[in-house]
């Protein structure tokens, strides 16, 4: 049964991270929005030392198992809350600033792919490096010029040549790709097909490490929002990696099965609720700021009265609050299911769709209600509006999430509902 009360441990973490975001992240948000592609290195190094793996230390990190000694009594089973705790941390850091938060070191989406698809040995090899004192980054490359939302249409190929895989193709919009490729411990998980005729069954993930010949950044994106975070295009030209760097089985046993593609989706089932948490953090920042400014002007929300007696601005604010709380509860449910080993593809898509739409509306309404001040660069509201839109796009667009939700609820296949 889902308990909507956070545990004392998570509450303590939430308060600590909020204070950190307020004192260390928020004050430099405008500076690193204007100085795109620059990183707050002092902050990043401090984060690595204190948090050991960035905002998503739990993301992509193998669970630690306690050693049992002979004669030990079985301990009372505690509720698993690793992913939920990670999402709470993400929300609070993104309350501070989305761009800086995305620039934090950590395994990122690449680590999530290793966690979802890798062997125990691969998890140890590729994820242990994020526990060091120096900042390290992982990234995931899946989107292509002709394969955005339709990930099944990937054209990047991987061909086995002796003891090496040879990758050829192009990936675009790789979050933290520049950081991962410039970091001596970094890597990019590249999704490629080993058998185009097999369709989705031929899609496999490969770990390509820093310094691998044939991998090159071809473009660094200039973006509307999350400007401190780097987003790049990467080309692979006869890029050779060790045979053992494929995550999961290299076999395409049955062309009617989609094991490789399912692992792509399994990665997203774990990360989409975290993207929803990112959106909630930005939405909460906008709502908190707006309510603070309106309180200074003497407006106090009158909860519990007839809506027909409310001012228009009160109804707007309460709708914003309701949308944000709904997104948060959907997100927590998806993460609770993930923590408890339950299938959560429907819930992950619902959380991502709701949060992306909610934060877009909330930040736009906040700018609108503040008038010219909301539109000016004097306040951070306009920045939050720019930062928010990406949450409705990356990790699967809002439209795709609604499509996935409809398929799951109605029981339709991809061919029946496109």
What stretches of 227-258 show up as alpha helix (H) in DSSP?
none
Query: Is the pTM here over 0.75, yes or no?
Result: yes
Residues 356 and 389: their CA atoms lie apart, in Å, by: 7
Residues 206 and 245: their CA atoms lie apart, in Å, by: 6
Residues 314 and 406: their CA atoms lie apart, in Å, by: 33
Residues 99 and 25: their CA atoms lie apart, in Å, by: 10
Residues 332 and 85: their CA atoms lie apart, in Å, by: 10
Residues 291 and 275: their CA atoms lie apart, in Å, by: 25
DSSP codes joined into one string, 46-99? HHHHHHSS-TTTTTTPPPP-PPPPTTPPPPPPPPP-HHHHHHHHHHHHHHH-HH
Q: What is the largest CA-CA distance in the chain?
A: 75
Q: Which of 81, 92, 209, 395 is catalytic?
A: 395
Rounded to 5 degrees, φ, ψ at 207 are: -90, 120
Residue 122's CB is within 10 A of a number of other CB atoms, namely: 18
**CB-based burial of residue 195 (10 Å sphere; 0-12 exposed, 13-18 middle, 19+ buried)?**
middle
For residue 265, give Cα distances in angstroms to 12, 141, 220, 378. Answer: 32, 14, 27, 41
Q: 395 catalytic, yes or no? A: yes
* Angle (CA) 127 129 130, round 5°: 75
* Angle between helix 345-369 and 381-388 (nearest 10): 150
How do 215-220 and 203-209 pair as beta strands?
Answer: unpaired
Domains of the chain, earliest start first: 8-62+80-131 (1.10.540.10), 138-245 (2.40.110.10), 259-410 (1.20.140.10)
Residue 66's CB is within 10 A of a number of other CB atoms, namely: 7
Tens digit of each residue's pLDDT, the chain (418 residues): 556 678 888 889 899 999 999 999 999 999 999 999 899 999 998 888 776 654 544 343 434 444 444 555 445 555 577 888 889 999 999 999 999 999 999 998 899 889 888 899 999 999 988 887 888 999 999 999 987 777 778 899 999 999 999 999 999 999 999 999 998 889 999 999 999 888 888 889 999 999 999 999 999 999 999 999 999 999 999 999 999 999 988 887 655 455 555 556 667 788 899 999 999 999 999 999 999 999 998 888 888 888 888 889 999 999 999 999 999 999 999 998 988 889 898 999 999 999 999 999 999 999 999 999 999 999 999 999 999 999 999 888 899 899 989 998 998 887 788 7
DSSP letter for 7, please. Answer: P
> Contact 55/101 with Cβ under 8 angstroms?
yes
């Amino acid at each position: 049964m889902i308990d909507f009360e956070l545990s004392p441990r998570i509450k303590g973490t939430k308060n600590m991270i909020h204070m950190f975001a307020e004192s260390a992240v928020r004050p430099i948000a405008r500076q690193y929005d204007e100085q795109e592609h620059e990183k707050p290195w002092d902050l990043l190094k401090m984060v690595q030392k204190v948090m050991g793996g960035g905002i998503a230390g739990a993301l992509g990190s193998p669970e630690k198992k306690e050693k049992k000694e002979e004669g030990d009594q079985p301990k009372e089973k505690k509720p698993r809350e690793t992913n939920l705790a990670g999402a709470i941390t993400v929300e609070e850091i993104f309350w501070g600033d989305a761009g800086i938060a995305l620039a934090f070191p950590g395994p990122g989406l690449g680590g999530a792919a290793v966690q979802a698809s890798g062997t125990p040995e691969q998890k140890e090899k590729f994820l242990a490096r994020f526990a060091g004192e120096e900042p390290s980054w992982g990234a995931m490359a899946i989107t292509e010029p002709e394969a955005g939302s339709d990930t099944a249409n990937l054209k990047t190929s991987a061909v086995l040549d002796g003891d090496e895989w040879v990758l050829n193709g192009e990936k675009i919009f790789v979050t933290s790709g520049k950081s991962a490729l410039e970091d001596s411990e970094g890597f990019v998980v590249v999704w490629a097909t080993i058998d185009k005729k097999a369709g989705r069954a031929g899609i496999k993930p490969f770990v390509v490490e820093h310094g691998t010949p044939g991998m090159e950044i071809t473009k660094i994106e200039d973006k509307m929002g999350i400007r401190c975070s780097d987003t790049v295009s990467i080309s692979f030209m006869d890029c050779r990696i060790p045979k053992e760097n494929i995550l999961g089985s290299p076999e395409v046993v049955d062309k009617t099965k989609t094991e490789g593609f399912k692992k792509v989706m399994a990665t997203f089932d774990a990360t989409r609720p975290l993207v929803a948490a990112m959106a909630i953090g930005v939405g909460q920042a906008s709502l908190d700021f707006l309510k603070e400014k309106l309180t200074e002007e003497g407006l106090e929300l009158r909860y519990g009265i007839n809506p027909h007696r409310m001012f228009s601005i009160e109804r707007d604010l309460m709708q914003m609050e309701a949308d944000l709380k709904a997104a948060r509860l959907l997100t927590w449910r998806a993460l609770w299911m993930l923590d408890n080993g339950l299938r959560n593809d429907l819930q992950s898509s619902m959380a991502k769709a709701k949060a992306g739409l909610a934060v877009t509306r909330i930040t736009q309404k906040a700018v609108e209600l503040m008038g010219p001040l909301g539109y000016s660069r004097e306040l951070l509201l306009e920045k939050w509006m720019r930062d928010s839109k990406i949450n409705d796009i990356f990790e699967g667009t809002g439209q795709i999430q609604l499509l996935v939700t409809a398929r799951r609820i109605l029981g339709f296949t991809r061919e029946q509902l496109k």
